[in-house]
Amino acid sequence: MTVYVHDDMAIMPLVGGNAISDEEFSLIQSLVKKQVGIALSEHKRSLVASRLGKRLRALGLPSLRMYYDYLTGPDGTAELENFVNAMTTNKTDFYRERVHFDFLERELVPALKTRAVQTGERKIRIWSAGCSTGEEPYTIALTLCEALGRMPAWDVRILASDVDTSVLSQAAAGIYPLERVREIPPALRERYFLRGTGSKAGLVKVKREMQSLITFRRINLLEEPWPVRTVFDCIFCRNVIIYFDRPTQCRLMSRFAKYVKDDGYLFLGHSESLHGVCDQFTFLRNTIYRRLPAHNAARPAAEGRM
């Protein structure tokens, strides 16, 4: 529980019984920015206190300064994963921002079917970057299964990545409380999910047919190079860049542009925009952007491998 103490200057959250000093908060801000690109504003002090307080108690450390010294010392490598997991925010739902999935079904898939008739290519590659607990990539998979009809005729792969290993393990398991899938129409729940019984009552599990389309992988969007060796028909990176400062956003979008096919698509969150960030995409509608043709652009070295 976060506790607060009042003095003449501010109300400061307590961690381990001691107020977070300006120096400690600044150190944590810098480390979070370095590790995952998140820019923590001043009003996130209470969030830092709440989330890192648990790590301090687990390690028996009395202050954030000692925790920071441990993280950046020779024995702190393993704890950095817990630190990153604690500092990332994970909010997602099935069919969140439904307009994007309507676009997949009504515009992208028909265009890919037309391409298949013309060229014989029946391959689809989509990246869910910042997939959290998996609702987004599973919604993508469900939408594609329904829109494509005869899935065996198509080579479909979805890369689902996140920097937080704890949510990735949940996503890979594909198990959700029944209330989490309420937004999915009943007929589709029956088609693509198994309902738990006995000790698993109240839970559902994604069926293997849909789960097999997705590769879950830890990817830190700040690290170079990314372990990705293909280009995508579209990338979902929704409600991620709002946590980054403008220079980080610019670098990230320029990198994404290299991984999207010409005339492919980038989907952002409803409060995000590429205005003044990147000129390699053009705005379409509803936070949907189309990749502009890239002349002599550097592409991943071995297209086809995720």
Which residues form the catalytic set? 51, 162
Nearest to 28 by CA among 58, 59, 67: 67
In angstroms, the CA 203 to CA 138 distance is 16
User: Can you give the C-alpha Rg of the chain in angstroms?
Assistant: 21
122 residue type, one letter? R
- Neighbouring residues of 10: CB distance < 8 A, sequence distance ≥ 6: none
Q: CA–CA distance from 235 to each of 55, 78, 140, 263 (Å)?
A: 34, 30, 11, 12
CB atoms within 10 A of CB 179: 8
Pairing of strands 214-218, 155-162: parallel
Tokens of residue 240, six digits: 């991620």
